[in-house]
Amino acid sequence: MEITTEMIKELRAATSAPMLDCRKALQESNGDFQKAVDWLREKGMANAAKRADRDASQGTVELYSHGGGRVGVMVEVNCETDFVARSEKFRELAHELALQIAASAPQYISENEVPVDVLEHEAEIARVRAKEEGKPENVAEKIIQGRIEKFKDEVVLLRQAYIRDESLSIEKLILQTVAALGENVIVRRFQRWELGESLDK
């Protein structure tokens, strides 16, 4: 199929990818627009993963207050340069992450931050439940693993489903931004406060 300039322009407008990449994506997908978008996204994700070890010491601290001051969030998001830190796309991501934290109350940024004793505690709860439900031993272990994975999906920010698009995890949302900006982006730390919550939780 012939790849026209119009097709390339249309794909570039939709993805902000370089012209040569848009041409290559359309060639690889035989002119199928949606497949070309997917091809570019996958390429972007692969490139984004390569950037993960680059130093990110610039960025922003995003503040967000929700529900008339009932929930407050502060999140530090870092990138590599001050130029990108001031860009609209980067600021937009920082804001979306603050909204996510306000809405979904994660406790950790990544799964390697979850303490072993917390996972053991969750496994024990799942084990007792499986026993009470009369599940056989070989099935129980799979159920316990499944419940631990579900627990991580709920409490780990990067594993959470994005509140605006549940087909996308927060990690993938960040990788898409990395692909678009061409710089490493990391969530350094966050804090979430809810009015009246216990201080010793």
The answer regarding whether domain 115-154 maps to CATH 1.10.286 reads: yes
Neighbour count for residue 4 (Cβ, 10 Å): 11
Q: Could you tell me the fold of the domain covering 5-52?
A: Helicase, Ruva Protein; domain 3 (1.10.8)
Least confident window among 14-23, 133-142, 188-197 = 14-23
For the segment 32-83, what is each residue's pLDDT rounded down to a tens digit?
A: 888 887 887 777 655 555 555 666 779 999 999 988 889 999 999 999 999 9
| 156 φψ region: left (φ > 0), alpha (ψ -120 to 50), beta (else) | beta
Residues in the chain: 201
Q: pLDDT band for position 139 (50/70/90)?
A: confident
HSE at residue 21, side-chain half, CA atoms within 13 A, is 19
- Please, what CATH class does the domain formed by 56-110+160-194 belong to? alpha beta
Q: What are phi and psi of 27, to 5 degrees?
A: -65, -45
Model confidence pTM above 0.75: no
Could you write out the DSSP letters of every residue in 98-129? Answer: HHHHHHH--SBSSGGGS-HHHHHHHHHHHHHH
- What mean pLDDT is predicted for residues 10-18? 75
Give the pLDDT of residue 162. Answer: 96
Domain ranges of the chain: 5-52, 56-110+160-194, 115-154
